[in-house]
Amino acid sequence: MELFDKAKGWIVRITELGLLLVALAIVLQILFGTAVPFLGGDIVGNLIKLVNALGSNGVVGLIAIAIILWLFNRK
């Protein structure tokens, strides 16, 4: 079980780092008005596409958003 706990710890840390990088890319893209090439390109555009795709699916989109938020907020 110790191996699984270590693997889970690494996954949590990598996920948190990824979320921090996404937040940084959003802030930089808002400040400079262009895509940030070293942080993955057009992050804001991709998020807008994701929200539009989820929103066009009605209830299924709401359920998907709820699941995503639950995954990010559980600790």
37: CB partners within 8 A, 6+ apart: none
* CA distances in angstroms from 13 to 16, 29, 49, listed in the order given: 5, 24, 27
Say which residue the tokens 């940030």 belong to.
Answer: 36
**Three-state secondary-structure class, residue 71:** helix
Show the domain range for 20. Answer: 2-73
Confidence of residue 75 (pLDDT cuts 50, 70, 90): low
Q: What is the mean pLDDT of the segment spanning 40-64?
A: 75
What is the maximum alpha-carbon separation in the chain?
47
Q: What is the mean pLDDT of the segment spanning 35-47?
A: 73
The predicted structure's pLDDT at residue 39: 65
The overall average pLDDT reported for the chain is: 79
Cα separation of 50 and 64, whole Å?
11
Structural domains in the chain (count): 1
pLDDT exceeds cutoff 80 at 2 = yes
pLDDT exceeds cutoff 80 at 36 = no
36, β-bridge pairs: 41
